[in-house]
């Protein structure tokens, strides 16, 4: 597994990753249905945010070169923190990609990016994502009741956080 910046050649891969309802229902921002135009819009927004230093978003690529997901940071430089978000294609769930990608991203966030805190939000029904975050050292910090409108329905979010001094800076996975 490697991480690499996303580009326009990833439109078909993003559709593959994001198109299933099962993936979209587990995230706050992925629309359903998801089409190539959604991927193009995402990449356009991402480019501007990358240039302004507001985000660092990467494709998660399997050993065979297939885009299997995305992971990124929405960065708040003023407070030296970022929100972590990721998604994995349904066909690739349970293969360890999210855990490996997050273990790669953490030392990048606390090292070169210079952050002091990471936060992640997960829907309580997304047990797999909560497990990934816990495996990577995130701690539950609270429940945000009816915090997010998911497809028009007020939905709870579980807040999890990781501080730099709690992190796995010696993580053996290298950033590529």
pLDDT of residue 168: 61
pLDDT of residue 19: 96
pLDDT of residue 133: 98
Query: What is the Cα–Cα distance from 47 to 43, expressed in whole angstroms?
Result: 6
Helix (H, G, I), strand (E, B) or coil at 4: strand
- 142 φ, ψ (degrees, to nearest 5): 155, 170
pLDDT of residue 144: 97
CA-to-CA separations, 6 to 47, 52, 57, 135, 156, in angstroms, rounded: 9, 16, 7, 26, 30
Identify the segments of the chain with pLDDT beneath 50.
Answer: 170-176
Listed by start position, the domains of the chain span: 2-166
Query: What is the Cα–Cα distance from 103 to 138, expressed in whole angstroms?
Result: 11
Query: What is the Cα–Cα distance from 82 to 54, expressed in whole angstroms?
Result: 9
pLDDT of residue 174: 45
Pick among 3.40.630.30, 3.30.2130.10, 1.10.10.10, 2.60.120.260: CATH of 2-166: 3.40.630.30
């Amino acid at each position: 597994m490697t991480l690499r910046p996303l580009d326009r050649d990833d439109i078909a891969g993003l559709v593959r990753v994001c198109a299933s309802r099962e993936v979209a229902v587990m995230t706050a921002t992925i629309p359903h249905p998801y089409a190539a135009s959604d991927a193009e819009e995402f990449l356009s927004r991402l480019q501007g945010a990358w240039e302004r230093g507001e985000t660092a978003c990467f494709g998660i690529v399997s050993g065979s070169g297939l885009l299997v997901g995305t992971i990124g940071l929405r960065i708040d430089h003023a407070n030296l923190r970022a929100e972590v978000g990721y998604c994995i294609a349904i066909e690739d769930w349970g293969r360890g990609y999210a855990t490996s990608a997050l273990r790669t991203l953490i030392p990048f966030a606390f090292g070169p990016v210079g952050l002091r805190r990471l936060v992640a939000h997960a829907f309580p029904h997304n047990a797999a994502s909560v497990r990934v975050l816990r495996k990577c050292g995130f701690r539950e910090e609270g429940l945000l009741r009816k915090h997010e409108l998911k497809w028009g329905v007020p939905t709870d979010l579980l807040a999890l956080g990781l501080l730099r001094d709690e992190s796995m800076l010696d993580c053996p996975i290298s950033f590529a």
